[in-house]
Structures are given as structure tokens and as C-alpha cells.
């Protein structure tokens, strides 16, 4: 039996946001700049609307300017490109985030790669992805950035040399997560939908990062005793009484007594993601001359 520590992402994010607010005060005093984040939402996906509202609220609470731009579902790719270019030129905007997913008629890669890489606080632009992959300073995607911060905080110097398995190979989470773990000198394996015998692979993992999108998929019995588990998944499930509930990709209850530490859902990775977005926007403003 191992005592399983719950990694409190909510409290960690609160500390990070307070730190960002202090940096904002410093940037205002030293550079006479108020960091500004522009969030572009196309269409009216309810989940995206909630994310955008939360981002705007927390941006303002950190003392930064928030520019919200809501465009209709019928916005064309050309119109969205014009908006992005406008924000690229705007000196009050230091960070640009285009909320994904975009409507099907718009090519996401085209839009992301039109964002000025120096304002790409989501870290999705191919230049930032390339910089991260080659170990250069870059904007790091917010979700994996939050995950690596929590891992460093939990494991400290023990992180170096550990076996890490990242489940999921998306550009948003899985791939940048693997790059960050590699940078910390972990031995990294990326598992995905075609991986054979995931349970056997996880038995070798000191660190498991699950970013799949399948409710409660990873079972405690698959883990190595003492593994540290980061659950990125956000899945809404319907309970027998008809109520809904958010769960992760990891069956948390079955990991208790096996994992040495685990992030809860909600209250783990989620709150860290927005805090890291504020951190990246602050970093961008701080780089302005």
C-alpha cells in the first residue's frame, strides 16, 4: 500500500495567478505596459463559451487587459485571417488565443500559423512547436505546461531519469508533454490508440500522463506501485439518476493506495491551464522592448 497524495491543482493555480498578478504590477511600473490577451471565439459552442468567459475573468483579475472577440459561426476563413492579422498588429495585444475547435469550414492549422509566433500564447504555432521540440525557449502549450509544473513540484530532482508514459499524441497535449518530459531527462514513451498492451507498458511507468478523452479508462491495477499520475482528461458522463458529472481519463478510485500522487478531476490539470495562459501572456508582454 502506498499513501496516495492528491495534487491540488486548484491551489497551485491560485498561487501561480497571484505570482502573475505581481509580475503584471512590475511590468506596468517598469515598462508602462499593461499585458493584454485577446481571445477569439467563432460560433457558439457552449463549452467554448464557458472557457472564454473564464479566461476573460481571470485575465482581468490578474490586472491584465482582456479583449474578447466573438464572431458568428458563418465567419469565413478569410475573415478570421483578417481578424488575426489585425490583432497581430495591435500594440495593446500581447497574447492571441483562437478558441478551438473552429467550425469545420475553417482550417485550424492555417489560422494558428497566421498568429504572430511572438503573440502565440497557446504555443500551437509551428514555430513554437519546433522551438519546443529542439529545446529552444518557446511559448509552451498551456495544458502540458501546467502538468510539468505540477510534476516538478511533486518530484523535484527525482524527475530526472524517470520512465514516463504519455497516453495520447495530440499536438495540444500529448506531443508537447512528451517534449517537456524529455527536457527534464525522463525516458519518454508516447502511447496512442494503436499501442499494443497499454497495461503492460504502464507497469514500467514512474509517471503516467493520460490525455485521451475516454472516461475512467486507465485502471489502478495497470499502474506500477508508487507511480505519479497526471489526469488531463475532461469527460462529462451521465449518471444513472440522469445527472451529469466530470471525470478524467483515469479511474481515480482504483488508483488510491497504488499511485504515490494523482491529480483529481476536476481541480487538477484544468485550473492550471488558464493560469499558464496568463503566465504566457505576461511572458509575452515582458519580452516587449
The residues of the shown chain that bind ligand NAD, judged by CB under 6 A, are: 143, 167-170, 172-174, 191-193, 195, 198, 211-214, 232-235, 269-270, 273
Nearer to ligand NAD, 169 or 203 (CB): 169
Cα angle 3, 224, 194; round to 5: 135
Q: How far is the CB of 89 from ligand NAD (least distance, A)?
A: 29
Residue 247 grid coordinates: 471525470
Nearest CA-CA partner of 96 in 83, 78, 110, 109: 83
Residue 103 CA to residue 146 CA, distance in Å, equals 27
Nearer to ligand NAD, 83 or 122 (CB): 122
Annotated catalytic residue, options 23, 58, 120, 122: 122
Annotated catalytic residue, options 58, 83, 99, 175: 99
Nearer to ligand NAD, 163 or 170 (CB): 170
Nearest CA-CA partner of 55 in 93, 16, 97, 89: 97
| Catalytic-residue membership of 122 | yes
Q: How far is the CB of 211 from ligand NAD (least distance, A)?
A: 4
Q: How far is the CB of 27 from ligand NAD (least distance, A)?
A: 26
Q: Residues 59, 66: contact at Cβ < 8 Å?
A: yes
Residue nearest to ligand NAD (CB): 170
Residue 62 CA to residue 66 CA, distance in Å, equals 10
DSSP 218: B
| Catalytic-residue membership of 288 | no
Nearer to ligand NAD, 96 or 234 (CB): 234
Q: Residues 233, 248: contact at Cβ < 8 Å?
A: yes
Q: How far is the CB of 62 from ligand NAD (least distance, A)?
A: 18
Residue 204 CA to residue 282 CA, distance in Å, equals 38
Annotated catalytic residue, options 23, 55, 83, 119: 55
The residue written with cell numbers 504555443 in the block is 123
Beta strand pairing status for 235-238 and 244-247?
Answer: antiparallel
Q: How far is the CB of 194 from ligand NAD (least distance, A)?
A: 7
Helix (H) or strand (E) holding 142: helix 142-155
Nearer to ligand NAD, 20 or 27 (CB): 20
Q: Could you tell me which residues are beta bridge partners of residue 59?
A: none
Name the strands in the sheet holding 228-231, side by side, starting at the edge strand that comes first in the sequence.
5-6, 261-262, 228-231, 207-210, 163-167, 187-191
Nearer to ligand NAD, 117 or 267 (CB): 267
| Catalytic-residue membership of 175 | no
Residue 68 CA to residue 74 CA, distance in Å, equals 18
Q: CA torsion sign, 152 to 158 to 159 to 164?
A: negative
Q: How far is the CB of 235 from ligand NAD (least distance, A)?
A: 5
Residues marked as catalytic: 55, 99, 122
Amino acid at each position: 500500500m502506498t499513501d496516495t497524495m492528491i495534487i491540488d491543482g486548484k491551489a497551485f493555480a491560485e498561487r501561480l495567478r497571484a505570482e502573475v498578478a505581481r509580475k503584471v504590477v512590475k511590468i506596468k511600473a517598469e515598462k508602462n505596459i499593461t499585458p493584454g490577451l485577446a481571445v477569439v471565439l467563432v460560433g457558439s459552442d457552449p463549452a467554448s463559451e464557458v472557457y472564454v468567459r473564464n479566461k476573460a475573468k481571470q485575465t482581468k483579475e490578474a490586472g491584465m487587459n482582456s479583449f474578447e472577440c466573438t464572431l458568428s459561426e458563418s465567419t469565413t476563413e478569410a475573415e478570421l485571417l483578417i481578424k488575426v492579422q489585425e490583432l497581430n498588429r495591435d500594440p495593446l495585444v500581447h497574447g492571441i488565443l483562437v478558441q478551438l475547435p473552429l467550425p469545420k469550414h475553417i482550417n485550424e492549422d492555417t489560422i494558428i500559423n497566421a498568429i504572430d509566433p511572438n503573440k502565440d500564447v497557446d504555443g500551437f504555432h509551428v514555430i513554437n512547436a519546433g522551438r519546443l521540440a529542439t529545446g529552444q525557449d518557446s511559448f509552451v502549450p498551456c495544458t502540458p505546461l501546467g502538468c510539468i509544473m505540477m510534476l516538478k513540484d511533486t518530484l523535484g530532482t527525482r524527475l530526472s531519469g524517470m520512465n514516463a508514459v504519455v497516453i495520447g499524441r495530440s499536438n495540444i497535449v500529448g506531443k508537447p508533454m512528451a517534449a517537456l518530459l524529455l527536457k527534464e531527462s525522463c525516458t519518454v514513451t508516447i502511447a496512442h490508440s494503436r499501442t499494443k498492451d497499454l497495461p503492460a507498458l504502464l507497469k514500467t511507468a514512474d509517471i503516467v500522463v493520460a490525455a485521451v478523452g475516454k472516461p475512467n479508462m486507465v485502471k489502478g491495477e495497470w499502474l506500477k506501485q508508487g507511480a505519479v499520475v497526471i489526469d488531463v482528461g475532461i469527460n462529462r458522463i451521465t449518471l444513472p439518476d440522469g445527472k451529469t458529472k466530470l471525470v478524467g481519463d483515469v479511474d481515480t478510485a482504483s488508483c488510491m493506495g497504488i499511485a504515490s500522487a494523482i491529480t483529481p478531476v476536476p481541480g487538477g490539470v484544468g485550473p492550471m491551464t488558464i493560469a499558464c495562459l496568463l503566465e504566457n501572456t505576461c511572458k509575452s508582454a515582458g519580452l516587449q522592448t
